[in-house]
């Protein structure tokens, strides 16, 4: 607990899981003058559960990736008792899935044929081996290949040379591998695997445990976090325009010890603070970092913000009256027979955007979700899809379903709902990835607080949290939550370690 005369005012920009995590941890440390300023009219940010069909669907984060003891979201969800028995079982927590949970899959070709499940499983296994090899390759320090796309192209070409199957089977295997790669786009969020830097790709850490969801929606976690905070701590619909730091706004003769940061809101309101924790998405920072801070951020930080990747991943949910899939099926994969891995994509997106779709995930359990299929689309195609109408998207997906299942009589869905994360002004995409030319060091540079330690100015005026500031768990909710905790602890440590230099902020 902090001595009362050391309490200071802290503004957190953004009410996603990083901002909420920071606020809660600060309150636990004894800080009492905390305020969260959020641009939108709701909490949660990229955690956004909405009503659809029989229950709730997730427009953003859906799964706890690697639900096991080291996962901060899992820890918190368990404490609030938000998960079901299966997710809580020791057995579930121990399974190593490397980011790809097991699923009962049906694979269909573009000529409407079902692929032999054994062949499909063997190609899935081959793909997992290649991804594992990319990590071993990085660890061995071998240099020439820089991106995941290039690495996979070489590896797949070598494998194909060794296949003894007839040409038709070889082509089918390549087409199946291509579908695996489309899933990889959705996992990474990147437009192309050629953009994914190989070295830092390996720094991302997958935790053990079979991915699980929240029975009451991810929002139940956000609701609990909100409940644990003092009332009225969040100001909604209050976009921040600029953060003035380094006393830049102070007039000569301003009283000693007054706040060194000012948060200027779009509505003209000015909120003075001793510390500001910025949790806005990297997509927003990329577009606004030149004007969002006054004085501007140091060039090294701007450079890292621009180098790190921020992809777009969009979801499309379809609700059907009756299922056309088999009862035990978790995943329907679409395999285009005329495609092979990492083939150059044609530029005319309006004709081909839907080819980036890997297939459909069946939401479970049916009693809670209804008969709902989810598809995910990444990159340029996802951005293009945002400008189409619901009926254009629905018609296009139905054409795919008819073509691949070979059944033109499947009736259209009753409802459609989709995300448009790229058009979201305060997000501008879905999550970060380490783009070629960037590395884990850029993530650390973005996370460094300002002013730098070497400066004589009041330290820790501006701190940075959010998924894109976590070196090993970037792109996830647990990474975001840990980053909020990290910055709250940084502030606490600063006060506890350096009492002599701490001004009395209450003057």
242 φ, ψ to 5°?
-155, 145
Task: Kindly state the smallest distance separating residue 488's Cβ from ligand 6YU, in Å.
Answer: 13
| Region class of 215: left (phi > 0), else alpha (psi between -120 and 50), else beta | alpha
| Residue 286 near residue 466, CB atoms below 8 Å | no
- Closer CB to ligand 6YU, residue 61 or residue 156? 61
Q: 264-292 b/e with 16+ CB inside 10 Å = b?
A: bbeeeeebebbbbbbbbbbbbbbebbeeb
Q: Which of 109, 246, 313, 494 binds ligand 6YU (CB under 6 A)?
A: 313
CB of 173 to ligand 6YU, least distance (A): 23
Under rule CB under 6 A, which residues in 336-395 are in contact with ligand 6YU?
none
Residue 240 vs 335, nearer CB to ligand 6YU: 240
What is the C-alpha separation between 48 and 391, in angstroms, rounded? 23
Q: Is 297 in the site for ligand 6YU (CB under 6 A)?
A: no
Instruction: Give 233-236 contacts, CB < 8 A, sequence gap 24+.
Output: 233/23, 233/34, 233/35, 233/36, 234/15, 234/35, 234/36, 234/37, 234/38, 234/43, 235/35, 235/36, 235/37, 235/38, 236/15, 236/38, 236/40, 236/41, 236/42, 236/43
Binding mask 220-259 for ligand 6YU (x = CB under 6 A): -------------------xx-------------------
**Phi/psi at 415 (5° precision):** -145, 155
Residues paired with 270 in a beta bridge:
264
Residue 248: CB atoms within 10 Å: 12
List the one residue from 220, 279, 375, 405 that touches ligand 6YU (CB under 6 A). 279
Residue 502 binds ligand 6YU (CB under 6 A): no
**Candidate segments 58-66, 268-276, 396-404, 410-418, binder of ligand 6YU by CB under 6 A:** 58-66
Name 281's Cβ contacts closer than 8 Å, sequence gap at least 6.
14, 16, 45, 46, 310, 426, 427, 428, 429, 466, 467, 468
Sole window of 113-121, 274-282, 334-342, 490-498 interacting with ligand 6YU (rule: CB under 6 A): 274-282
Among residues 2, 26, 37, 335, the one that binds ligand 6YU under rule CB under 6 A: 37
Of 45, 66, 413, 440, the residue at the interface with ligand 6YU (CB under 6 A) is: 45
Rounded Cα–Cα distance for residues 438 and 309 (Å):
8
Site string for ligand 6YU, 470-499 (x = CB under 6 A): -----xxx--x-------------------
Q: How far is the CB of 345 from ligand 6YU (least distance, A)?
A: 21
Nearer to ligand 6YU, 134 or 502 (CB): 134
Looking at 2, 8, 11, 15, which residue binds ligand 6YU (CB under 6 A)? 15
List the interface residues with ligand 6YU, window 169-198 (CB under 6 A).
Answer: 187-188
d(Cα 152, Cα 232) in Å, to the nearest integer? 51
219 binds ligand 6YU (CB under 6 A): no
Which residues make up the interface to ligand 6YU (CB under 6 A)?
13-19, 37-40, 45-47, 60-63, 65, 99, 187-188, 201, 204, 239-240, 279-281, 284, 313, 315, 419, 421, 426-427, 430-431, 433, 466-467, 475-477, 480
């Amino acid at each position: 607990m902090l001595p009362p005369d050391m309490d200071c005012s802290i503004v957190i920009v953004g009410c996603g899981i990083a901002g909420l995590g920071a606020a809660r941890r600060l309150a636990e440390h004894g800080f009492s003058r905390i305020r969260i300023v959020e641009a939108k009219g709701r909490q949660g940010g990229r955690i956004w559960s909405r009503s659809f069909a029989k229950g709730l669907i997730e427009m953003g984060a859906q799964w706890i990736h690697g639900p096991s003891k080291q996962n901060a979201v899992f820890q918190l969800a368990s404490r609030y008792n938000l998960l079901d028995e299966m997710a809580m079982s020791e057995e579930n927590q121990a399974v190593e899935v490397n980011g790809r949970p097991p699923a009962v899959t049906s694979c269909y070709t573009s000529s409407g044929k079902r692929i032999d499940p054994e062949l499909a499983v063997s190609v899935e296994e081959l793909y997992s081996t290649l991804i594992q090899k990319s990590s071993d390759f990085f660890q061995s320090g071998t240099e020439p290949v820089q991106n995941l796309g290039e690495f996979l192209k070489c590896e797949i070409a070598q494998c194909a040379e060794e296949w003894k199957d007839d040409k038709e089977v070889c082509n089918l295997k390549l087409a199946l591998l291509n579908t695996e790669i489309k899933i990889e786009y959705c996992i990474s969020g990147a437009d192309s695997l050629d953009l994914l830097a190989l070295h830092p790709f390996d720094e991302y850490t997958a935790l053990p445990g079979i991915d699980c969801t929240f029975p009451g929606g991810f929002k139940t976690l956000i609701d609990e976090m909100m409940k644990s905070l003092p009332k009225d701590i969040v100001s909604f619909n209050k976009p921040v325009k600029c953060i003035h730091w380094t006393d830049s706004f102070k007039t000569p003769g301003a009283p000693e010890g007054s706040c060194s940061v000012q948060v200027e809101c779009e509505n003209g309101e000015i909120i003075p603070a001793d510390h500001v924790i910025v949790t806005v998405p990297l997509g927003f920072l990329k577009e606004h970092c030149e004007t969002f801070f006054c004085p501007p951020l140091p060039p090294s930080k701007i450079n890292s913000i621009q180098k790190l990747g921020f992809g777009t991943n969009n979801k499309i949910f379809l609700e059907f009256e009756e299922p056309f899939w088999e009862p035990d099926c978790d995943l329907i994969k679409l395999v285009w027979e005329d495609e092979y891995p990492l083939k150059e994509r044609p530029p005319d997106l309006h004709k081909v955007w839907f080819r980036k779709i890997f297939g459909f995930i069946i939401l479970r359990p049916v009693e809670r979700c209804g008969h709902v299929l989810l598809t995910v689309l990444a990159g340029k195609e996802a951005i293009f899809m945002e400008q189409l109408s619901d009926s254009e998207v629905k018609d296009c997906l139905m054409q795919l379903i008819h073509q691949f299942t070979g059944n033109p009589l499947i009736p259209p869905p009753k409802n459609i709902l989709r995300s448009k994360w790229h058009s979201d002004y305060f997000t501008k995409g879905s999550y970060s990835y380490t783009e070629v030319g960037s590395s884990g060091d850029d993530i650390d540079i973005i996370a460094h607080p300002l002013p730098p330690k070497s400066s004589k100015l009041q330290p820790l005026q501006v701190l940075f949290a959010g998924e894109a500031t976590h070196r090993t768990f970037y792109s996830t909710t647990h990474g975001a939550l840990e980053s909020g905790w990290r910055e709250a602890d940084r502030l606490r440590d600063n006060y506890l370690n350096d009492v002599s230099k701490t001004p009395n902020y209450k003057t």
